[in-house]
Amino acid sequence: MIKQAIIPLAGLGTRLLPLTSVFAKELLPINGKPGLEYILDECVEAGIEEIIFIISKKKKMIKNYFYNDSFYKKIIKKKKDPRIINEYKKILKYKKIIKFVYQNKPLGTGDAVLRTEKLIKDKYFLMLLPDDLIIKKNCSKDMIKICKKQKTSVMASMKVSKSNVSRWGIFSINRKIDKNNFLIKDVIEKPSIISAPSNNAVIGRYILPKSIFKKLKKQKPGKGGEIHITDSIRELIKDGKKFIGHKFLGKYLDCGSLNGYIKSGIEISKL
Ligand code: G1P
């Protein structure tokens, strides 16, 4: 039912400087494997058949990573190292299912989503934000199940500390569906502590409806002058479209900040 996923990858990664000065943050290793591969594995395991990367000219390195098969071939010819052969096969497998679109100006996540419009085929598609790793349980897989059952859009969520609400999209609850799923009443991008309706944060897994594109086209820049996906979701909710907040069962790792990135490696090494 949900066969396509999109991954915004055009961000500058300034929170991870100096590591991102000449390197794409999504390719930084986490316990010996590029962070992006954890996200791809989650997609494939959840039944996703096509993944659309939104990159920029500056992040061309990400495309090169998946299109470097001739280099692998040369190495393998000289040395039949089974580990390298395995890596080569993995890269080939990914290459087959990845498509690329470009967002050359960092205009926000909403703008990134809009770039994929022509490629999206079905009523719903998955979006994963690569800064957010969720381990121990496949969050995308669980959300796809919920979407199938409830026939609605879904967003991953977790409670955050009240002092930190302005870092996240924050939503209020209309009603509880079951222990881990709520119908969302409203969602606000990075509210101040005073204006936050709760401390329920949106985490980077979304099952979005195709109808979001219509809203995105009309979306005016919001917080920080960027086009936010949150603002278009809010518009859809106002129109009566249902969105479920799914309290995911896995463990959240924040790979977008230097401290979080270091901790992620330690956590994953313990698995
Ligand atoms: C984005 C979204 C925000 C969400 C967050 C999850 O923010 O805009 O609503 O809570 O991802 O990680 P960003 O991390 O791009 O600032």
Distance, in Å, from the CA atom of 129 to the CA atom of 132, rounded to the nearest integer, reads 6
- Which CATH number does the domain 4-269 belong to among 3.40.50.1820, 3.40.50.720, 3.90.550.10, 3.50.30.30? 3.90.550.10
Q: Which tens digits make up the pLDDT trace of 58-85?
A: 999 999 999 999 999 999 999 889 999 9
User: Cα(84) to centroid of ligand 1, in Å?
Assistant: 36
Average pLDDT over residues 259-267: 97
Q: What pLDDT shows up at residue 1?
A: 84
Domain ranges within the chain, ordered by starting residue: 4-269
Q: What pLDDT shows up at residue 111?
A: 98
| pTM check: above 0.95 | yes
Question: Looking at ligand 1, which atom is closest to the CA of residue 230?
Answer: 9
- Given a contact cutoff of 8 angstroms between Cβ atoms, the answer to whether 128 and 39 are in contact is yes
Distance, in Å, from the CA atom of 181 to the CA atom of 167, rounded to the nearest integer, reads 22
User: Cα(169) to centroid of ligand 1, in Å?
Assistant: 6
Q: What pLDDT shows up at residue 55?
A: 98
Q: Which tens digits make up the pLDDT trace of 107-138?
A: 999 999 999 999 999 999 999 999 999 999 99
Distance, in Å, from the CA atom of 62 to the CA atom of 40, rounded to the nearest integer, reads 13
DSSP code of residue 115:
T
User: Cα(60) to centroid of ligand 1, in Å?
Assistant: 23
Q: Which of 132, 133, 202 to mutate to test the pocket of ligand 1 (most atoms within 8 A of CB)?
A: 202
Residues having CB within 6 Å of any atom of ligand 1: 109, 129, 131-132, 168-169, 189, 201-204, 228, 230
Q: Which tens digits make up the pLDDT trace of 204-245?
A: 999 999 999 999 999 999 999 999 999 999 999 999 999 999
Q: Give me the phi and psi of 106, to 5 degrees please.
A: -75, 80
